[in-house]
Amino acid sequence: MSRSEFAKATKKAAFARCCRPDGIPKCEECGQLLRAGRFQYDHDKADGLGGDNSLENCMVLCSGSKTSCHSLKTEQHDKPLMQKADNMRDAHLGLTRKKVKIKQPPKTRREPRSLASNLPPLPKLSLYRDAS
Ligand SMILES: [Zn+2]
């Protein structure tokens, strides 16, 4: 499925919505003033999760750095949700590999050492040598 974009009219309406009364645009998430080329039109409900291209689903967010609203929303909210949706779809369609339990060898009880009882007894040694 390919990504869909907002229509030009939707972007214009969203931009007009995010402008203060004096006409200066601000981020609809954090309120930071927007500079040219440093904002994005973002799907509030992600396109990959069934979000449409309506004006209600369009947000104007600051962008351009890793800590901007658009980057944070994409990395921390949208991507994990889409990954989870992909995993659930794959599981539903049987596309995931089944977990294979690794067989362990059966536990054997260690036999007590009975080797000494099977051998003939050792000759007795005297503690002292004969003085000769
Ligand atoms: Zn922002």
Locate the domains of the chain by residue range.
8-92
pLDDT of residue 12: 96
pLDDT in tens, 53-106: 999 999 999 999 999 999 999 999 999 999 999 999 999 999 988 788 888 888
pLDDT of residue 99: 81
Q: What's the 47 CA to ligand 1 centre distance in angstroms?
A: 20
pLDDT of residue 89: 93
Task: Please report the sign of the dihedral spanned by the C-alpha atoms of residue 83, residue 45, residue 3, residue 71.
Answer: negative
pLDDT of residue 108 exceeding 60: yes
pLDDT in tens, 17-48: 999 999 999 999 999 999 999 999 999 999 88
Q: What's the 81 CA to ligand 1 centre distance in angstroms?
A: 21
27 secondary structure, DSSP code: -
pLDDT of residue 2: 65
Q: What's the 86 CA to ligand 1 centre distance in angstroms?
A: 28
Task: Give residue 113's pLDDT band: very low, low, confident or very high (50, 70, 90).
Answer: low
Quote helix, strand, coil % in the chain, to nearest 5: 35, 10, 55
